[in-house]
Amino acid sequence: MKKISFRPGFRSFILIIYVLITVSGLILLNSFSQAKQRQIRTILDEQNSIDRLREIKHLSAADSLLVNDAISAYNQSKSIVNVTLGEASMYSALILLGIIVGSSCLFIFLLSHISKPLRELKNATDQIRKGNFAVHLPETGIHEMKMLKNSFNMMSHELEAIQKKLLVAEKEMIWKDLSRILAHEIKNPLTPIQLAIQRIEERLTDEDSDLRSLLPQTIDIISQEIENLRLLAQDFSGFAKIAQPQQSIFNPADAIREICKSYMDNYHIRLEMRPDMNIRFDRTHFYQIITNIVQNAIDASAPDAPIDITLVKDKRFAVISIKDYGAGIEAEDMTRIFEPYFSKKSKGTGLGLALVKRLTEVNSSIVRAKSKIGEGSTFILIIEGSSE
Amino acid sequence: MAGIMSLSLFLFSSYTGNDPSMRTLSGSVSNNYLQLSTVFDYAFDNDFTEVFKSGKQIPLYYRVEVRSAGGIVFQKTYYNSVSYDNMKGSYKVYQSGIGQSFELGSHNAVIAAMSSLACSIPIERKWGTATVALEAWLPTVEFPQIKRKVDLMVLWKYRRPTTKGTFNLRLST
């Protein structure tokens, strides 16, 4: 059951004080009345002088009867007074209990009537905080509550509209960024292709020039730039459609050695692997992640600088660290390095690390980065180990 | 209702009143009669002095109900009564259950006599094991000299004392 915590507000305090004062007053009045009744009883109990009438001697029969009647009447009156006092005491106590119980029930009813709409408002505010602006409150209850709920509903309407505008603006901005990057990246390879074709054209018109000597170089340039365009398209395509992970169990140390084999000849990569653990991960995604991070490390490092790759076991997790000793990343850029299209390089789409983050997340793992200017950067992958 | 009354009296009243209760019902079977008896405790300790001295006959009623095989096989109401003679200064107590009357001089003796409930009820052996229930109450009386009625149950805080007992009517004792 949900825990209900109650904090009385100003109105509740007033109600509580009013009830306390009323009940205290009634209890006080009752106590005073009870005390007076006790006094009356005491006085009555002390009144036994009527019995002395019986001591009167030499009364006539008629006078004796009168005395008898007087004594009987006195005793009957005293009985009735005692019984009536008892009745008064009992019923006043019963009425007082009834008033206390009744006023408490009324108080609880009123309080729930006040606190229920406030709870509704609190729940609706929580919904707004979580980003659900479609919440609306029924405009019921006392006048002030209706006004409050009406203001709330208007606010949520406006927030909903602003949210929709923001979403549209965000989409526009993304498309603008994408268009800008695409335009820049496509223009880069197109320029050398155009220049190469222009040179061929010039040679074609010049009867004396040797076209054959120019062709191999030109073909190389055009092929290289077409390859760059193809890689560009591949990058965008890879980021756009990330397939559902096909997870399998494998040894990450073996996979990392295999990936680094092609880099070992040209770069100084140092491996420190803990061999005796397996992970459950999509093998293709794993290869893409490690490749992207290693490539980034290579791009950031000087030609002979080492790149350290370590694999350790931390409780049930495999922790892979890839450290470079390059220039490092600025502190204000650290929050953006995993964003799509963010890049400080002169070349590239800025999708590499964004892809690393997406692939890590779809495989239920974590990627983190830390960096220090002048000392280099470390990328850390945390993957849950497999017991199999 | 009695419970609510008790609670309110406990919390907000200084009224003492009386808290009558009956002891366990005792009975013996002989010659097709069941002799029943029990005693009241704390029934007349407070506020009854003037009531008994009022000169009016004050009755105390008690109903005997015998149940056998799930049904009521016998039911009768008896009474004890007291009246005061102002001239003599003595009390006359009558117990209808046993058909006897007493003349008593003191209030305490009256309380003892009025607190004693005894009766002899005719039975049939075929009733076998029977449950006997007894319930007592006070009536509303009218005082003639002052022409006022008073419900005497106030003095018992509107609680009717009861008691029960189970007896094997086939066995003679």
Find the farthest-apart pair of alpha carbons in chain A and give their distance in angstroms, rounded: 179
Say if A219 falls within a structural domain: no
Say if A223 falls within a structural domain: no
Do A245 and A384 lie in one domain? The reply is yes
What is the domain extent for residue A124? 10-49+67-129
Say if A318 falls within a structural domain: yes
Which residues of chain B are within 8 Å of residue A27 when distances are taken between CB atoms? 12
Say if A150 falls within a structural domain: no
Which residues of chain A are within 8 Å of residue B145 when distances are taken between CB atoms? 69, 72-73, 76
Q: How far apart are CA A251 and CA A186, in angstroms?
A: 39
Report the SS3 class of residue A61. Answer: helix
Could you say which of A129, A147, A167 is where a domain stops? A129
Q: How far apart are CA B99 and CA B103, in angstroms?
A: 14
What residue of A is the nearest CA neighbor of B85?
A68
| A93 with B13: Cβ contact below 8 A | yes
Structure-block tokens of residue A221: 């340039």
What residue of A is the nearest CA neighbor of B55?
A72
Q: Does B9 touch chain A (CB under 8 A)?
A: yes
Contacts of residue A290, defined as CB under 8 A and 6 or more positions apart, other chains included, come to A255, A256, A259, A320, A322
Residue B115 C-alpha, separation from nearest chain A C-alpha, in angstroms:
20
For chain B, the average pLDDT equals: 88
User: 32-51 in B: which are within 8 Å (CB) of A?
Assistant: 47, 50-51
Distance of CA A164 to the CA centre of its chain: 21
What residue of B is the nearest CA neighbor of A88?
B15
Residue A6 has a pLDDT of 57
Residue A240 has a pLDDT of 66
| B50 with A84: Cβ contact below 8 A | no
Helical segments of A130-210, H only: 143-205
Q: Does A84 touch chain B (CB under 8 A)?
A: yes
Say if A157 falls within a structural domain: no
Residue A208 has a pLDDT of 63
Look at chain A and report how many structural domains it folds into.
2
Residue B85 has a pLDDT of 86
Say if A101 falls within a structural domain: yes
Q: Domain of A244: which CATH number? A: 3.30.565.10
Could you say which of A87, A109, A129 is where a domain stops? A129
Say if A17 falls within a structural domain: yes
Residue A37 C-alpha, separation from nearest chain B C-alpha, in angstroms:
9
Q: What is the pTM of this model?
A: 0.51
Do A387 and A245 lie in one domain? The reply is yes
Residue A8 C-alpha, separation from nearest chain B C-alpha, in angstroms:
28
Residue B54 has a pLDDT of 84
Q: Closest partner residue to A79 among B13, B54, B158, by Cβ?
A: B54
Cross-strand partners of B62: B78, B136
Pairing between strand B33-41 and B21-22?
Answer: antiparallel
Contacts of residue A333, defined as CB under 8 A and 6 or more positions apart, other chains included, come to A342, A344
Q: Closest partner residue to B47 among A68, A76, A82, by Cβ?
A: A82
Say if A235 falls within a structural domain: no
* Of A70, A68, A54, A63, residue with least CA distance to B85: A68
Do A120 and A244 lie in one domain? The reply is no
Could you say which of A91, A111, A129 is where a domain stops? A129
ipTM of the complex: 0.74
Q: Does B165 touch chain A (CB under 8 A)?
A: no
Using 70 as the pLDDT threshold, list the residues of chain A that sit under it.
Answer: 1-9, 11, 47-51, 54, 207-209, 238-243, 345-349, 388
Q: Does B1 touch chain A (CB under 8 A)?
A: no
Q: Closest partner residue to B154 among A71, A78, A87, by Cβ?
A: A87
| A76 with B11: Cβ contact below 8 A | no
Do A110 and A253 lie in one domain? The reply is no
| B13 with A73: Cβ contact below 8 A | no
Do A265 and A122 lie in one domain? The reply is no
In degrees to the nearest 10, what's the CA dihedral of B119, B124, B128, B134?
-30
Do A125 and A261 lie in one domain? The reply is no
Residue in A51, A79, A91, A104 to test binding to B, most B beta-carbons within 10 Å: A79
Structure-block tokens of residue B18: 């009386």
Residue B117 has a pLDDT of 93
Do A255 and A376 lie in one domain? The reply is yes
Which residues of chain A are within 8 Å of residue B50 when distances are taken between CB atoms? 75-76, 78-79, 82
Residue-wise pLDDT tens digits, A290-307 = 988 998 898 888 888 999
* Of A239, A242, A236, residue with least CA distance to A185: A236
Which residues of chain A are within 8 Å of residue B154 when distances are taken between CB atoms? 83, 86-87, 90
One-letter amino acid for residue A149 of the chain = K
Q: Closest partner residue to B89 among A34, A38, A54, by Cβ?
A: A54
Q: Does A54 touch chain B (CB under 8 A)?
A: yes
Cβ proximity of A282 and A245 under 8 Å: yes
Q: Does A94 touch chain B (CB under 8 A)?
A: yes
Q: Closest partner residue to A89 among B15, B87, B145, by Cβ?
A: B15
Residue A1 has a pLDDT of 47
Which residues of chain B are within 8 Å of residue A92 when distances are taken between CB atoms? 12-13
Report the SS3 class of residue B21. Answer: strand
Mean pLDDT of B7-27: 81
What residue of A is the nearest CA neighbor of B14?
A34
Q: Does A80 touch chain B (CB under 8 A)?
A: yes
Which residues of chain B are within 8 Å of residue A85 when distances are taken between CB atoms? 15
Other Cβ atoms less than 10 A from the Cβ of B14: the count is 15
Do A251 and A383 lie in one domain? The reply is yes
Q: b/e per residue, A127-154, with b = 16+ CB within 10 A?
A: ebeeeebebebeeebeeebeebbeebbe
Residue-wise pLDDT tens digits, B97-145 = 999 998 999 999 999 999 999 999 998 888 889 999 999 999 998 887 7
Q: What percent of chain B has pLDDT over 90?
A: 50
C-alpha Rg value of chain B to the nearest Å: 18
Higher confidence at residue B82 or residue A192? B82
Report the SS3 class of residue B90. Answer: strand
Residue A347 has a pLDDT of 62
